[in-house]
Structure formats: C-alpha cells, structure tokens
Amino acid sequence: MVEVAERTKRVVQVGTQRRSSPFLKEAAEFVRGGGIGQVTMVSSSHIENQWPNGIGNPPDSSPPSEWEWDHWLGPAPMVPFNKNREFYKFRWFYNYSGGQLTNYGVHNVDMLRWCLGQDSPRSVTAIGGKYAVKDNREIPDTLQVIWEWD
C-alpha cells in the first residue's frame, strides 16, 4: 500500500478520522501538555437506543438467493443463515465482532489513549451480561470496562 501510494502520489490514511480533526489534535496536545493537570481518571460512555427492545429472535432460514453465505461468513464457522447475522446486526455475535465496544471503542478509546499519550493498557477488566433484552445476540447488552494505564 505504501509503495502504491508513493508511486501514484496519493495520500493514504489508515486509522480513525478523529486523528485528522484539527480541534481534537489540539485537545490531545493540550491534555498531554498538562493543560488540565495530572489526569488520574477518565470516564467515557456509549449509550444507544438503536433497538430498544433488542434485535429479535428470527428463525434460521435459507439466505437470499443473491447472497453467497459462505463468503459472507469468511473464516468464521459455518452456521445457518439468520437475519440477525446480516449487515450491522452481525456485531452482536462473537464470531464476527466484540459488539459496540469494538465497533465504537476503536474511536472512543483511541481518543482517550491519544489525549493521555498512552499505547496499550496495563490491564483491562470487564463485567457485563444480557440483562435488558431477550434476543438471540451473544454480546452483552450491558457492559462496563475499566482500562488501567501507567
């Protein structure tokens, strides 16, 4: 990719769009420069109400004729087609995703790491479960995570 970018004189960005935002870059530099003093704790939340009653329990069925189900699954284990394993809702199944933590966490947690000037956390602790909705998801509908950095 680097070779093609250089040869074609194209600009290539790999990462999240937030790292290209001038005001977020300024905020990260401000925090890292001591602008708010010593940071001892940061709180970040992601709350959404996309499917307040869950994603449902559709029965397994045959995939639509235009779908190549085995290609959609890729290297994940072969399972019967289910409407909830289609685009977007696939994030609620462990073989394809870590849920909204990995969907939005890459943006939210990266911003915190950037502001703090940190790479990998020293430890991560998570607790959660399926408490609010009764559907066929595997991913918790409620989750709390603590990242500990140096």
At 127 the pLDDT is: 96
| Encoded tokens for 103 | 């969907």
**Interval 13-27: pLDDT, tens:** 777 778 889 999 999
At 107 the pLDDT is: 86
At 50 the pLDDT is: 81
Length of the chain: 150
For the chain, which ranges sit under pLDDT 50? none
| DSSP tag of 143 | E
At 36 the pLDDT is: 98
Where helices occur in 33-118 by DSSP H, the ranges are 69-73, 100-116
**Interval 35-49: pLDDT, tens:** 999 999 999 888 887
The predicted model scores a pTM of: 0.77
